Structure 1
Amino acid sequence: MPYITSVERIGIEKGLQQGKIMNAQNNIVQILEVRFEDVTQELKQMIEKLDDLELLGELLTQAVKSPSLEAFESVVSQNAAEGKLVTEEE
């Protein structure tokens, strides 16, 4: 087993974290597209700006439970208003 430096380990952990985030974002969009068909590009972009796995998990549940796409959009908009969206690339 090759030696992994702490810098490499941090890079690997960040990559894994980013992969989990992207997977959660994609799952939310896919559920919305299956349930409601017409998901706006704006909503997709808002979801792509989220980087909190806990919040993404909550939104995944909302994507399944929301009675309408508009209801889901209001939840995402509320989180945007509370500053829970990433506004710039890190």
Structure 2
Amino acid sequence: MPEDPASQIVSELSKRLAQEREAAGISKKALASAAGFDRATARYIENPEDNPTLLNLVRYGLALKLDVGQLLSECMASHLTSKKPKAGKGK
């Protein structure tokens, strides 16, 4: 069974965060220190299989001076469609 769209979006966001950190030339250890958490938490946030907390995502973004909300919007945009459920047709 395919992964649900929400899990796909979180996975994409994790990958994008890792790419942004690497592009900035910042190690996980340095980012974790700036964000106030340990390196294991930085790995967790960047792991596409995990589901980081909003608080840790915000801390990560602040440490990297990155708009995490914008990245999330970009990840969500590829999953949004113009089709909306019709009233009375769902279960």
TM-score by length of 2: 0.36
Structure with greater helix percent = 1
